[in-house]
């Protein structure tokens, strides 16, 4: 008798139910879309016959049988089934089909298209991509966040995504023998260099007599400046040419669409960081490690973040160039 009872338990499928109506979902643990699902409804008190209405995945199925086999394309999925039979009180039950989804598997970064390069030279340009990164469920993946931080710096290196198409688009142009083609899920940076990024803003021309406040930005003689002290504009503090302009303004690059890195519609990388050393960190540093961190996301929203430490050469400092 004990063996018979145990066998009976194994034959009863796990169910989700209301007080009387029960729904068995197979596979109970859910899965990844498109998922083949079997729904089996058990009417109250062993009743047979009647009409079954299933609502799930934005569709309604009506039938006389209590078993529905269907492909579900959107998970997780919350569904409902209604049983109706003449002479009986209608019954309904809710059920859920869970999503099983693993985050992307991120493969180690590649530097400038070279598989075995694992060393960074200060002030060199690098394009970083992640070949082989994949979604275990077979869907597409995309790079959604990245940082580069040297251990002896207190700010991140600046990341560029040429051609610039917005803060959440990661791709980069690889120069040299690779023909200047665009690599997806990639970014560029200049080792140990942090600088302003021209994303296409349009600064007004500086005007004498105007009252400027901190964070205002202007163009003057082809250059862009940010206000660092509230003041009234005079010829003495005119950006770039006044006798005391540095007390009121900070140079942040050339005006829109010229030489700041990767400003639309061109790339504008020429001369960085050497000819713009006044923006370059002049601190001399010994050899150190740089941490590259990347976050990938799959089509269902699952994310994975990984970090790698890359040896970085000693920085002699930037004390040769000083344009302003």
Q: Per-residue confidence at 280, pLDDT binned at 50, 70, 90?
A: low
The string of pLDDT tens digits covering residues 92-121 is 999 999 998 999 999 999 999 999 999 999
> Given this model, what pLDDT does residue 135 score?
94
Q: In this structure, what DSSP letter does residue 45 have?
A: G
Q: What is the DSSP string of 61-129?
A: EEESSSEEEEEE-SSSEEEEEEEE-TTS--EEEEEEE-B--PPPBPPPPEETTBTT---B-TT-EEEEE
> Given this model, what pLDDT does residue 219 score?
82
Q: 269 versus 227: which is more confidently predicted?
A: 227
Q: Rounded to an integer, what distance in angstroms lies between the CA atom of residue 56 and that of residue 69? A: 12
The answer to whether 40 and 28 are in contact (CB under 8 A) is no
Q: In this structure, what DSSP letter does residue 31 have?
A: B
Q: Per-residue confidence at 202, pLDDT binned at 50, 70, 90?
A: low
The answer to whether 294 and 303 are in contact (CB under 8 A) is no
The answer to whether 261 and 69 are in contact (CB under 8 A) is no
3-state secondary structure 218-246: EEECCEEEEECCCEECCHHHCCCCCCCHH
Q: 238 versus 275: which is more confidently predicted?
A: 238
- 307, HSE (Cβ side, Cα atoms, 13 Å): 9
Q: How far is CA 239 from CA 209, 235, 243, in A?
A: 13, 9, 9
> Given this model, what pLDDT does residue 12 score?
39
Q: In this structure, what DSSP letter does residue 216 have?
A: -
The string of pLDDT tens digits covering residues 146-197 is 999 999 998 898 888 877 676 788 998 776 544 567 899 999 888 888 765 5
The string of pLDDT tens digits covering residues 250-275 is 998 776 443 344 333 333 444 344 44
CATH T-level fold of 2-97? Immunoglobulin-like (2.60.40)
Closest to 291 measured CA to CA, from 162, 152, 195:
152
> Given this model, what pLDDT does residue 164 score?
67
Q: Where are the domains of the chain?
A: 2-97
The answer to whether 18 and 43 are in contact (CB under 8 A) is no
Answer yes or no: is pLDDT of 7 > 60: no
Q: 243 versus 175: which is more confidently predicted?
A: 243
User: CB-based contacts of 136: which residues, under 8 Å, 6+ apart?
Assistant: 102, 104, 105
Round the average pLDDT of the chain to a whole number and report it.
Answer: 81
Q: Rounded to an integer, what distance in angstroms lies between the CA atom of residue 184 and that of residue 249? A: 38
Lowest mean pLDDT among 16-20, 57-61, 141-145, 167-171: 16-20
> Given this model, what pLDDT does residue 20 score?
81
And the tokens for 229?
């002290």
User: What's the rounded mean pLDDT across residues 231-240?
Assistant: 94
The string of pLDDT tens digits covering residues 48-99 is 889 999 999 999 999 999 999 999 999 999 999 999 999 889 999 999 999 9
> Given this model, what pLDDT does residue 265 score?
31
221 CA to centre of own chain: 37
User: CB-based contacts of 110: which residues, under 8 Å, 6+ apart?
Assistant: 117, 128, 129, 130, 131
Q: 267 versus 30: which is more confidently predicted?
A: 30
> Given this model, what pLDDT does residue 90 score?
92
Q: Rounded to an integer, what distance in angstroms lies between the CA atom of residue 194 and that of residue 317? A: 13
The answer to whether 248 and 227 are in contact (CB under 8 A) is yes
317 CA to centre of own chain: 33
Question: Residue written as tokens 């991509």?
Answer: 129
279 CA to centre of own chain: 28
> Given this model, what pLDDT does residue 196 score?
59
> Given this model, what pLDDT does residue 294 score?
97
């Amino acid at each position: 008798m004990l063996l018979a009872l145990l066998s009976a338990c194994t034959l009863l499928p796990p169910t989700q139910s209301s007080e009387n109506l029960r729904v068995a979902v197979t596979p109970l643990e859910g899965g990844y879309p498109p998922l083949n699902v079997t729904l089996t409804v058990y009417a109250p008190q062993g009743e047979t016959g009647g009409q079954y209405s299933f609502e799930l995945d934005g569709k309604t199925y009506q039938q006389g049988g209590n078993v529905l086999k269907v492909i579900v394309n959107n998970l997780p999925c919350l569904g409902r089934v209604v049983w109706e039979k003449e002479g009986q009180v209608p019954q309904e039950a809710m059920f859920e089909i869970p999503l099983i989804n693993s985050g992307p598997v991120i493969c180690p970064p590649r530097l400038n298209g070279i598989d075995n390069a694992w060393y960074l030279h200060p002030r060199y340009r690098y394009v970083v991509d992640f070949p082989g990164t994949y979604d275990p469920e077979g869907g597409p993946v995309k790079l959604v966040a990245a940082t580069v931080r040297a251990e002896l710096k207190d700010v991140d290196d600046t990341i560029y995504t040429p051609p610039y198409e917005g803060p959440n688009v990661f791709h980069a142009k690889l120069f040299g023998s690779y023909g200047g083609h665009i690599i997806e899920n990639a970014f560029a940076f200049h080792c140990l260099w942090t600088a302003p990024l021209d994303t296409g803003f349009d600064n007004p021309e500086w005007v004498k007599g105007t009252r400027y406040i901190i964070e205002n930005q202007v163009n003057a003689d082809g250059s862009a400046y940010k206000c660092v002290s509230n003041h009234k504009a005079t010829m003495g503090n005119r950006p770039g040419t006044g006798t005391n302009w540095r007390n009121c303004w900070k140079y942040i690059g050339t005006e829109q669409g010229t030489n700041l890195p990767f400003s639309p519609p061109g790339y504008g990388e020429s001369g960085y960081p050497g000819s713009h050393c006044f923006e370059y960190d002049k601190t001399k540093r010994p050899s150190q490690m740089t941490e590259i961190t990347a976050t990938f996301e799959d089509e269902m929203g699952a994310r994975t973040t990984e970090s790698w430490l890359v040896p970085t050469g000693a920085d002699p400092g930037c004390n040769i160039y000083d344009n302003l």
